Structure 1
Amino acid sequence: MPEDSSARAQSQAARFCSFDGWECHLFVKQDFGEPAFGLTRSNSRLACAVMGAHPEYRADIDGLRALAVVGVVAFHAFPELLPGGFAGVDVFFVISGYLISGIIFDEVARGSFSLASFYSRRVRRLFPALIIVLVSVAACSWFVLLPASLDILGQQIVAGSAFLANFYFWLQSGYFSPDAHTLPLLHLWSLGVEEQFYIFWPIAVMWLASPSRWRATIGFVAVPSFILSVALASNRDADFYLPFTRAWELMAGALVAWQFEQRPGAEIDRSELLVAFGLFLIVGTFVFLDQSMAYPSWRAAAPVAGTVLVLVAGSRSRIASQLLSNRLAVFTGKISYPLYLWHWPVLVLAVAVKFLPLTLLERGAAVLLSYGLAWATFAFVERPFRFGHAARGRMHYALSFAMIAVALAGAVFVNFNGFNSRFPAELQTANSERPEAWRVGVCLIDLGTSAEILPDCLEPARPTLAVWGDSTAGALMPGLRSMQAEHSFGITQLTASSCMPLLDGAATACTRHNEEVIKTIASVRPDVVLLHANGPLNQVERAGWANTIAMLRSAGATVIVLGPVPSWKRGLPEQQIAYYITHRKTLPERSSQFVNNLWDEESARTFFAEHGAKYLSAWEVFCEASGCLTRIGDQGSTAIDGTHLSTAGSRYLIRSIEADLFKALQLRGP
Structure 2
Amino acid sequence: MTSLAVAPVTAQPRGQSGPGRDRRSEIHALRTAAVLGVVLFHLWPGAVRGGYAGVDVFFVISGFLITSHLVREAAKPGGVRLGAFWARRIRRLLPMALLVLVCSAAATYVLVPEALWQQFLRETVAAAFYVENWQLSWAAVDYLAADDPPSPVQHYWSLSVEEQFYILWPLLILAAAFLTRRRPELRLPAIRAVIVAVLVTSFAASVVITAKDGAAAYFVTHTRAWEFAVGGLLALLPAASSRAPSRWAAPVAVLGWVALLGALLLFRESLPFPGWVALLPVVGTALVIWAGAPGGVGALLVGNPIVQWIGTVSYSLYLWHWPLVVVVPDTGPVLGTWLREPLILLTTVGLAALSHRFVEAPFRTGPTLSTSARAYVFAVVGMALVAVVAVPGIVHGRSVAEQSREQANALASGDVECFGAAGFLASCDNPELDGVLLPAPIARKDDTGNAYDCYLTERRTYATDARPRMCHLGSTEPDALRVALVGDSHAASLIPGLSRLAKGSGWSIDVMVANGGGLVAPEAGDARRAYRKALLARLTGNTAYDVVLVTQRRSPSLAAGERDPVVERLVEAWRPVMKRGTKVVALADNPMLTSAAMTCLDGAETLAEASACEMTREDAYATSDPLPEAVRLAGPRASLVDLSSAYCAEDRCPMVVGHVLAYRDQTHITATFSKTLAPYLVRAVENALA
2:593 counterpart of 1:568: yes
Change (3 A) 1:464 1:416: same
Question: Is the CA contact (8 Å cut-off) linking 2:37 and 2:54 kept in structure 1?
Answer: yes
Describe the shift of the 1:241–1:512 C-alpha distance in structure 2 as closer, same or farther (beyond 3 A): closer
C-alpha distance in 2 between matches for 1:577 and 1:199: 44
1:383 aligns with 2:349: no
* Residue segments in structure 2 that go unaligned for 5+ positions in a row: 1-16, 176-182, 207-219, 331-335, 402-439, 556-560
- 1:411 is displaced (CA, Å) by 3.1
1:407: how far off?
Answer: 1.1
Within 5 Å, give how 1:445-464 maps onto structure 2.
447-448=461-462, 450-451=466-467, 461-462=478-479, 464=481
Instruction: Tell me whether 1:412 sits opposite 2:388 in the alignment.
Output: yes
2:199 matched residue in structure 1:
229
Residues 206-605 of structure 1: pairs in structure 2 closer than 5 A: 221-236=191-206, 237-239=220-222, 246=228, 249-250=231-232, 252-253=234-235, 268-269=246-247, 271-280=249-258, 282-283=260-261, 292=273, 294=275, 302-303=283-284, 305-311=286-292, 313-314=293-294, 317-326=295-304, 328-346=306-324, 349=326, 371-384=345-358, 394=368, 404-412=380-388, 418-421=394-397, 425=401, 426-429=440-443, 431=445, 434-436=448-450, 440-441=454-455, 447-448=461-462, 450-451=466-467, 461-462=478-479, 464=481, 466-471=483-488, 472-491=490-509, 493=511, 495-502=513-520, 509=529, 512=533, 515-516=536-537, 519-520=540-541, 524=544, 526=546, 528-536=547-555, 538-539=562-563, 540-543=565-568, 560-569=585-594, 576-580=601-605, 587-588=610-611, 591-592=614-615, 596-597=620-621, 604=628
Which deviates more, 277-286 or 143-152? 277-286
Paired-residue identity, %: 16
Any idea what the Cα deviations from partners look like across 1:15-54, whole Å, max 9, x if unmatched?
Answer: xxxxxxxxxxxxxxxxxxxxxxxxxxxxxxxxxx9xx943
Q: Distance in 2 between matches of 1:176 and 1:441?
A: 16
Q: Distance in 2 between matches of 1:321 and 1:338?
A: 25
Query: Are 2:102 and 1:135 equivalent residues in the alignment?
Result: yes
C-alpha distance in 2 between matches for 1:557 and 1:269: 79
Q: Alpha carbons of 1:283 and 1:665: their partners in 2 closer, same or farther (altered >3 Å)? A: closer
How far is 1:470 from its partner?
1.0
- Amino acid of the structure 2 residue aligned with 1:566: P
Paired position in structure 1 for 2:671: 647
Structure 1 residues 525, 90: closer, same or farther in 2, change over 3 A?
Answer: closer
TM-score normalised to structure 2 length: 0.63
Among 172, 189, 193, the residue aligned to 2:160:
189
The TM-score with structure 1 as length reference comes to: 0.65
Give the deviation of 1:597 after TM superposition: 1.9
Of the structure 1 ranges 412-421 and 223-232, higher mean CA displacement relative to structure 2 is found in 412-421
Q: Are residues 461 and 403 of structure 1, via their aligned partners in 2, closer, same or farther at CA, if it must alter by over 3 Å?
A: same
- C-alpha change, 1:341 and 1:321, in structure 2 (3 Å) is same
Q: Conserved in 2, the CA contact under 8 Å of 1:175 and 1:186?
A: no
Q: What count of residue pairs does the alignment treat as equivalent?
A: 574
Q: 1:514 to 1:576 in 2, by over 3 A?
A: same
1:587, CA displacement in angstroms?
1.5
Q: State the alpha-carbon separation in 1 of the partners of residues 577 and 22 from structure 2.
A: 82
Q: Give the secondary structure class of the aligned counterpart of 1:565.
A: coil
User: Which protein has the larger Cα radius of gyration, Structure 1 or Structure 2?
Assistant: 1
Shift of the 176–557 alpha-carbon distance from structure 1 to 2, 3 Å rule, reads closer
Q: Is the 8 A contact 1:98 1:253 kept in 2?
A: yes
Deviation of 1:88 (Å): 0.9
The AA in structure 1 aligned to 2:346 is G
- Gapped runs of 5+ residues in structure 1? 1-48, 160-164, 205-212, 355-360
Determine the C-alpha separation between the residues in 1 that align with 2:459 and 2:366. Answer: 65
Q: Give the direction of change, closer, same or farther, for the CA distance of 1:422–1:192 in structure 2 (3 Å limit).
A: same
Look up the SS of the partner of 2:500 in the other structure: helix
Moved more, 388-397 or 428-437: 388-397
- Residue 643 of structure 2: which of 618, 631, 635 is its match? 618
Greater CA deviation, 473-482 or 569-578?
Answer: 569-578
Matches of 1:346 and 1:623, distance apart in 2: 37
Task: Give the counterpart letter for 1:309 in structure 2.
Answer: W
User: In the superposition, relative to structure 1, how do residues 138 and 495 fare at CA in structure 2: closer, same or farther (>3 Å)?
Assistant: closer
Determine the C-alpha separation between the residues in 1 that align with 2:21 and 2:471: 79
More displaced 10-residue stretch of structure 1: 63-72 or 500-509: 500-509
Structure 2 SS opposite 1:487: coil
Tell me: CA distance 1:193–1:343, structure 2 relative to 1, closer, same or farther (3 Å).
Answer: farther
Query: 3-state SS of the aligned residue for 2:610?
Result: coil
Preserved CA contact (<8 Å) 1:339 1:373? no
1:70 maps to a residue whose letter is L
How has the CA–CA distance of structure 1 residues 196 and 255 changed in structure 2, closer, same or farther, with 3 Å as cutoff?
farther
- Kept after mapping to 2: 8 A contact 1:459/1:490: yes
Superposition pairs for residues 138-217 of structure 1, below 5 Å?
138-142=105-109, 144=112, 145-157=116-128, 159=129, 165=130, 168=131, 183-189=154-160, 191-192=162-163, 196=167
Q: Supply the RMSD in Å over aligned alpha carbons.
A: 5.9
> Offset of 1:185 from its aligned partner?
1.6
Structure 1 Cα separation of the partners of residues 361 and 393 of structure 2: 40
* Pairing 1:67–2:83 present: no
Q: What are the Cα deviations for residues 258-308 of structure 1, in whole angstroms up to 9, with x where unaligned? A: 899x99xx9944543343344345446666896545479998872454133
Q: Which string of whole-angstrom CA distances, capped at 9 and with x for unpartnered residues, describes residues 202-255 of structure 1?
A: 999xxxxxxxx999976664453233322444455454566x983672574587
Counterpart-to-counterpart distance in 2, 1:459 and 1:571: 45
Query: Matched residues in 2 for 1:219 and 1:505: separation?
Result: 51
Q: Report the alpha carbon displacement of residue 436 of structure 1 after superposing the two structures with TM.
A: 3.2
Q: Is the 8 A contact 1:154 1:413 kept in 2?
A: no
